[in-house]
Structure 1
C-alpha cells in the first residue's frame, strides 16, 4: 500500500517570514491570504511555489490554521499536529537569512543636508535595519531617510540579510527636499457630490518614525547655450519644416533645458528630434515617452534620419538614439551619464513627485546636460504640477520649495499671471492658428434625458452604502452605457464620407460599441489598454486608410495621446476624462496637422446627474490652465468684456 504524501513538504524561515511549501489544497490560498500570505509564482525564484507568511501572522493561530487545512484536505495527506508544528519549530531553529533576498535591489542616494535616502524592494529586514539606525520613513515616496553614510547603511543591510554588493545601486546624484508635505492645494475647482450615506474616514495614527517629506535629485540650472540664430538657421537649411517649427527648434537649442508646449498636432516630436540631433552632434540621445508611442518615435526619427541607429527599452551603447517608456526609467539611472540629450515626451506624466518614474527621471536628468521637455498639457489640475517640470529643467522658480512656490504663484488668477510671466522664457507655446490649412474645431454639448428605469438605476447606485469613489465609478459606467443609444443615433446622421472617434472611460463600453456597430454594419476598430502595441497600430492604420472603417472606438487612456487619427472629422465622448488636458489631447487626435476638414466634437451630457458637475469641474480646470499657459488668454477675455460693454 502506497504511503500518503505529507501535506507540508518543507518550511523555511529567515528570521522575519516563513516559507511554506505544501501540496495543493483547494481553498487553502484563502487561509494564507487572510494571514497576509504571498504566493511566489516566478519560476526562476529559488522559493517558487512557496507561500511566504509574516512570522506573527503564522504563529498567532498556528493550531487553527493546521486544523482548517486538514478539514479542507479531507484527510488525504499524512500530517499530524506534531509533525506540522515540528517543521515550523525546526525552521525557526535553523533560519536562512537569504531565504527571500533573491531579486532584491536597494537604491542609496546622498541627501543635500547630509545622510542618505534608502529605497527599493520591500523586506522586513530592511525595515528593521532602518529603524535600528533611527531612520524616518517617508510615506509619500516609500523610502527611508537615514542619518548615516551610504557604506554604513549598505554594510548593515549586507550583514542583516546576506545580500551581495551587486544588489545595491549607490547613486552620486544629490537629493534635495522638494516638499515637507504641508502644501494643501487651493480649493477653486468644482467638486463632485453624490449624497447618500456618509462614509467614515479612518484616522492615521501618529508615528514619530514617519514623515511626509519628498526628495528628488538636484538637477543642474538652466544655462544659455552658444547657439546663435544665424548658426541655427544655417543648420536647418536642409530640413523640410513648417513655418512655425524653426522657432521651436531655436527655443530648445538656445537653452540647456526648455519646455515646448505647443498645441497637439503642431509637430513637437519633429522639432525635438532635429534640435536634439544638432545639439548632440552624434553623441547619444535618450527619448522617454509612453510605451504606446515608441513606434511613432522610431518612425519619426527614421523619417528625418534614415541611417540613425535606434535602440528600444534597453541600454545599448552602440545606438545613437534609445527610446524607452516611463516604466523602464529605473533601468537607465546608472547609465544616465552616457547621454548628451534627454527628450521627455508627454512630460506632464512627471507631475507627481512621489511616483517612482518621477524619481528615476530626476536621477537621470541630474546627469544629462541637455533636457528637452514636451507636452501640450503642462498643467492638468493645479499650478503645483508645473513646479515639478520647472524643477526637472533646473529653472530658478522650480528651485523654490513647493510651499513657497504655491504661496507666490497659486490660488488666484493674478498669481498665475505672475507665474506665466516668470517662466515665459522657458516655455514656448503656439496654438493651432499657426496652421493655415486647419478648418477649425467646434465643440457641442448635447442634453440627454434618462428613462424612468435608468433614473431608478442611477439613484439606486448613488444612494448605496459604499465608498463615494466606488459609487462614482459605477455611476460613470452606467451613464456611458446610457449614451451608447445616443451615439448610435448620431452615427445614423453622418454622411457616408464622415468618420468618427468614440472615446470611453471603460473597456466594457468599447465592447458594447463594437457589438452595436457590427449589428448596424458600420466598419469599426477598437483599442483598449490590454491591446498590444502591434494590435493598436494595426487598428490605427486600418482606420486611417480603409474607407469602409468609419468608427474608431477606444478608451481615452489607451488611445487619447500621441496617435494620428486625422481620417476622423467627428469626435464623440461617451465618458469624460478627469482633466481638460486629457480631453484636449483626445480631441486633437483628429484636430491636428493633416486634417483637411472641420472637426466637430460632440459631448452628450445626461441631465440632473454627475455629468453636469464633471463638466463644470473641467471648465474650472480649463480656466486655471488658460491663465498659466495661454499667452493671450487674459487680453482676449478683457477685449470680449470691453466689446460687450
Structure 2
C-alpha cells in the first residue's frame, strides 16, 4: 500500500528472521492517522525512493536505509553469486545442510554481522518493531535501553569437573534470560532480544559465548580436558571479561614495566617492508643492504609482554599440585607509552612492537642512543643470546675517532686512532673497509663493530686520495680536503706558516712581466699571468680555462719567457693539435722572440732528446707524443703544457697514457672546454696536472661521475668543485673582455619542403614506435643507442634528406634558406663562417655554392693545408665564405675577418656552438658579430631547442655534456621529441 507524503507518516525499522541469513532489519514508512497512531498502511523504502520521504527522515535514517538495503537477500545474492542461477538456487545450494559451501557461508555471515552491528548502533531513539508473520512491520514494538548490560562468567570447580555459566545484569538488576525465548540478534558484538528489549553489552561480548545458555543452565567441563579448556578458553575470558571463580584462584597483579629492546638481523629472503613499517637510509651508499629488526617488550615482574600485544590485561596460568592460579597481569599502558615516546623522540618509530632500519643506520642509532636509554631504564641487547646459533655477535658500545694531520716537506702525514669500547684500532686499518663500502669490522674478541655510516662520507676521500700502506700520506694539492676535515672538526691539522698563509690568502701577488716579453697584457690577462705564478710557486699543476679568444696563448708565453729569464734548467714541452702549431709559432715570434723554439713535428724530425737542451720550448702534437713516448719520457722538462687539453679526455686512450708518463717540474693545461662529453673528461685532465687529486678512475666514477650525471647530486657537485677550484682559472668573455664588440644571436626557422616533410614523418613514425617499445620492454638506459640513432636520422632529414637517403632527389627548405642568406650576406660585403656537425651536410652546401659560383674556403678533419685555408679566408677579399666542420674547426682558429656565423644543425651542448662562434668573436674583432642558428620547423631540432632550457641546467661552467643530457631524458621528454 502506498504511503502518501502529503499526509503524516513515520519511518520504522522492523526486525525479522530470514531462513538462511538470520535476523535482519528492513526499513518502512507507515501512514499516521488523525489520532497520531500508526496505521496498517505502509511502504518499504530503500535508497532509491528515500528522497521522496526526506521531510521526515534525518541523516541517521538515510544511513540506516542504505545499510538495510545491503543486507536484504537480493543484495546478498548479487554480491556473492558468481554463477548463473536464480536467487532460490543460490541460497539452497549455499546453505544445503550436507553439500553447502561452508566457506561462503562464513564470508556472508561476516558481511552481515558487520552491517547489523552498525545498524543496531544507529537505532537509538528510532521506532523499532518485530515484524509479524504476515509481514506486518509494526507487529510488536521493541525498545533499546541506553544503558549497557554486564556479564559475569562463573566457574565452579569441584573434584570431578567444572561448571561454567554466565549471569547478566542490567542497571544493577539480574536479568533472567535462560528459558525465556531470548534470541541473539547479532553476535559480533552481542545484542540480546529479551522480552521486547534489545540489550547491548559492555566490553563487547561475543554472542557465541552466551548462545549455549539461552536454553541451558550451565556447561560441564570434564577434568580430563580442563587444562586445555582453561588455557584456550578461560584464560582469554579472564583477560577480557569479569570472571568469578570457585575452586581455583584469579590473582590481579600490577608491576612497574621495564622496557626490553632487542635487535636481530632480518633473515635473508624476507621482505621486511612487507611485514613492518620501515625506515631506510636517506642516501644509497651501496653498503650492506641487510636490515636490523628491533623488538620492544616489557618485563612485568617475571612476565614478559610484547609491545605488539594490544590487550591491556595479560593472563598467565600457573598449575599447582591440586588446582590452578590465573595470574591476571594489569599492564601500565601509560608508562609503556612514555617509553615508546623516548624511542620516538630519538627517531625510532616502533609500530606493533617492531621497527626495521638499514643495518648501518640501526647501529649508528644504537651507538648514539644506547647508553642514554640504558640510564633511563631500558635493557638493550642482541636477540638470540648474543650471537648464538651462528648469528653474528654485534658490538654496541661507545665508538670514537681521533684523526691528526701534520704537514711534512711535500706532503701531509695522517695518523689516527679508532676506539671501539676497550679496543684501540689504528685508523689506517679502516682504509679497505671505507673504500670498499664494507661496514662490518671484526674486533679482537670476535664481535662485529659496525663502522658509522657518516664515516663513509666524511673520510672516503681522505683514504681514496692518500698514499702508503704502513702510514698514510696526502699530497699538498689536497689542501681543500684538509680544510674541509678541519672545518668539520673531523681532524686536527698542523701545518707551516706558508700553507696557513695559502689557506687565508685574499689576493694573488702581482708579478712583473719578463723583460723579453714584447707587448702588453690586458688587466685580466695580467691576472692570469699572476695566477700561473701562484700555482707554480706552491708546486701545483694548473688549468687555464678561459673562454675561447681571451688570450690563453699570450698568458702562457709570458710565463715561459719568465722561466727562461729565471733559471729554468731544461726545456718546456708544449703539446697541441697539429693544426695549432703554426698559430703558436706566429704568436711566439710576435710576443716572445727570444724563446728558442723547436718544432718537433713532421716525418723528418730528429728523434733525439739530447737536442732539447739547446731550446727553451719544444712544440709538438699529441700524435707525436704518442709515437715518441719512449724517447720523450726520458727527458725531465721544466713545464709540460697541453693546449686544447680535452684531447686527453679519454683516460684510457694511448694519448692520455703517453702524456701522463712524461716527467716535468711543472704542469699546465689550456682549454676552453674542460668537459665535452662526460665528467670523466675532468678526471683525466686534472689527474694529469695534479696526480691523485681526484682519486682513482674507479673511485671517481662511483663517487662523483655517477652521482652527478645520473642523480644530479648537488652535494657531490659542490664537493668536486671544492677539490678542483684552486687549480682552475676560468673567466668568461662577458666578464673580462668588455672592449669586444657586441654579439647578436638570431634563430632562423626554416619550413621543410613537401617531399622533405613526408620523408621526415615516415622516419619519425618508424623510430617512435621502435624506441617507445624498447623503453617499455628494456628501460630507458638500454634504449639510448636506438634513441641516438633515431635522433641522428631525424636531424639529417631536417637538414637535407639526401644525407640519410642518397637516392633522394627533392629539395631542402633549410638549404634554400642557408644559400639565400649566404648570398645576401656576401653581396653586402660581409664574411661568413658556416659550421655543421655533419661533413655530409657541408658537401651538400658546397655543391650548391659551386652551382651559384660563390667562392669559399673549406676545412674538415681531412683537410691537409689548414693554415693555408685560414690565411686565404682572413686575407683574400674575394673569399667571403668559410665552410667548417664543427669538430675540426671549433677550436684554435682565429677568424676575425668574419662578422657572420651560421650554425646549421644545433645539438644539445651550447658550449660547442659557443666555441665555433668564438672563432670570429675574439680579441681582434672590430665589428659586431651576428650569429644565426638554423632550425627546421616542426622537427626534432625545434624540440631540442625547447628542451635545452629545461635540461641543460649547467652544474657549473665545467660540467655540461651532451651525454649527460641524453641520459637525463625522461620517457615523456622522448615522447615529446618524437611527437
Equivalent in the alignment of 2:731: 430
> Higher strand proportion, which one?
2
Alpha-carbon distance in structure 2 between the residues aligned to 1:331 and 1:467? 36
Out of 685, 692, 714, the position equivalent to 1:389 is 685
* Residue number among 894, 898, 901 corresponding to 1:571 in the alignment: 901
Are the equivalent residues in 2 in contact too, given 1:416–1:627 (CA < 8 A)?
no
Q: Is the 8 A contact 1:253 1:279 kept in 2?
A: no
Pick aligned residue for 1:405 from 691, 704, 714: 704
Aligned-residue offset at 1:234: 5.0
CA contact (8 A) 1:283 1:339 kept: yes
Tell me if 1:362 matches 2:660.
yes
Q: Alignment partner for residue 260 of structure 1, among 544, 555, 560?
A: 544
Q: Is the contact made by 1:606 and 1:612 (CA closer than 8 Å) also made in structure 2?
A: yes
Structure 2: where are the runs of 5+ without partners? 1-431, 438-466, 469-473, 479-497, 771-784, 801-811, 961-979
**SS at structure 2 position matched to 1:287:** strand
- Pair 1:292-2:579 in alignment: yes
- 2:717 aligns to what? 416
Q: Deviations over 1:601-641 (max 9, x none)?
A: 111112232213443565567532545579xxxxxxxxxxx
Structure 1 residue 574, shift from structure 2 partner: 1.2
1:316-358: per-residue Cα shift (whole Å, max 9, x none)?
4324222222233223433223322111111122222222212
Question: For 2:561 and 2:952, how far apart are their aligned partners in 1?
Answer: 35
Q: Note the 1:199-278 alignment, pairs <5 A.
A: 222=477, 232-233=511-512, 235=514, 238-240=517-519, 241-255=521-535, 256-278=540-562
**Structure 1 residues 542-557: aligned runs within 5 Å:** 542-557=872-887
Q: Which residue of 2 aligns with 1:517?
A: 849
Change (3 A) 1:386 1:304: same
Do the aligned partners of residues 614 and 230 (structure 1) sit closer, same or farther apart at CA in structure 2, a change above 3 Å counting?
closer
Shift in alpha-carbon separation, 1:386–1:568, aligned structure 2, 3 A: same
Q: Distance in 2 between matches of 1:548 and 1:415?
A: 54
Q: Deviations over 1:501-555 (max 9, x none)?
A: 11012223222222322333433111122110x2x22221111112221111111
**Compared with structure 1, are the counterparts of its residues 391 and 333 closer, same or farther at alpha carbon in structure 2 (3 Å cutoff)?**
same
Residue 460 of structure 1 is matched in structure 2 by 762
In the alignment, structure 1 residue 340 sits paired with structure 2 residue 627: no
Q: Give SS of 1:369's match.
A: strand
Aligned residues: 415
Give 1:486's match in structure 2, choosing from 817, 820, 832: 817
**Change in 2 beyond 3 A, CA 1:471/1:181:** farther
Instruction: Name the SS of the counterpart of 1:373 in structure 2.
Output: strand
Matched, 1:373 2:373: no
Correspondence for 1:598 among 928, 931, 934: 928
| 2:351 alignment counterpart | none
- Which residue is equivalent to 2:838? 506
Q: Is the 2:600–2:620 Cα contact (8 Å) retained in structure 1?
A: yes
Contact 1:348–1:377 (8 Å) recurs in 2 = yes
Q: Is the contact between residue 288 and residue 343 of structure 1 (CA under 8 Å) also seen in structure 2?
A: yes
Check whether the contact 2:704–2:717 (CA below 8 A) recurs between aligned residues.
no
Could you tell me whether the CA contact under 8 Å between 2:543 and 2:729 is conserved in 1? Answer: yes
Residue 408 to residue 505, structure 1, CA distance change in 2 (3 Å): closer
Change (3 A) 1:286 1:363: same
Q: Hey, what does 1:352 align to over in structure 2?
A: 650
Contact 1:445 1:602 survives alignment (8 Å): yes
Q: Secondary structure at the match of 2:511?
A: helix
Counterparts in 2 of 1:578 and 1:519: CA distance versus 1, 3 Å: same
Tell me which residue corresponds to 2:976. Answer: none
- What secondary structure sits across from 1:442 in the alignment? strand
Query: Is the CA contact 1:378–1:385 (under 8 Å) kept in the aligned structure 2?
Result: yes
Per-residue deviation, 1:563: 0.4
Distance in 2, Cα, partners of 1:237 & 1:277: 7
Q: CA RMSD in A?
A: 3.6
Q: Distance in 1 between matches of 2:861 and 2:958?
A: 32
What residue number does 2:917 align with?
Answer: 587
CA contact (8 A) 2:576 2:644 kept: yes
Maintained 8 Å contact 1:570/1:601? yes
CA distance in 2, matches of 1:408, 1:306: 48
| 1: CA distance, partners of 2:552 / 2:704 | 28
- Contact 1:387–1:405 (8 Å) recurs in 2: no
Q: Between Structure 1 and Structure 2, whose CA radius of gyration is higher? A: 2
Give the whole-Å Cα distance in 1 for the aligned partners of 2:951 and 2:669. 22
Cross-structure match for 1:641 = none
Distance 1:302 1:361 in 2: 26
| Change in 2 beyond 3 A, CA 1:414/1:439 | farther
The 1-side partners of 2:753 and 2:708 are apart by 46
Q: Which stretch shifts more, 560-569 or 329-338?
A: 329-338
Q: Which SS does the other structure have where 2:620 is aligned?
A: strand
1:388 positional shift: 2.3
Q: Output the CA distance in 2 between the equivalents of 1:521 and 1:312.
A: 41
SS of aligned partner of 2:681 = helix
**1:443 matched residue in structure 2:** 745
- Specify the alignment match of 1:85 in structure 2: none
Residues 1:324 and 1:580: Cα distance change in structure 2 (over 3 Å): farther
Residue 560 (structure 1) aligned with residue 844 (structure 2) = no
For residues 48-105 of structure 1, give each alpha carbon's deviation from its aligned partner in whole angstroms, at most 9, with x where no partner exists: xxxxxxxxxxxxxxxxxxxxxxxxxxxxxxxxxxxxxxxxxxxxxxxxxxxxxxxxxx
* 1:323 corresponds to: 619
Provide the C-alpha distance between the structure 2 equivalents of 1:306 and 1:577, rounded to a whole number of angstroms: 42
* Distance in 1 of aligned mates of 2:510 and 2:956: 34
Distance 2:891 2:729 in 1: 20
Deviation at 1:278, TM superposition (A): 2.5
The answer to whether the Cα contact below 8 Å between 1:409 and 1:419 also exists between their aligned partners in 2 is: no
Are the counterparts in 2 of residues 222 and 393 from structure 1 also a CA contact under 8 Å? no
Displacement of 1:453: 1.0
Distance 2:942 2:557 in 1: 41
**Equivalence map 1:170-189=2 (5 Å):** none
Q: 1:608 to 1:316 in 2, by over 3 A?
A: farther
CA 1:292–1:425 in structure 2 vs 1: closer, same or farther (change >3 Å)? same
Describe how 1:76-95 pairs up with structure 2 within 5 A: none
Residue of structure 1 equivalent to 2:598: 310
Secondary structure of 1:342's aligned partner: strand
Give the number of the structure with larger relative contact order, counting CA–CA contacts within 8 Å between residues 6 or more apart: 1
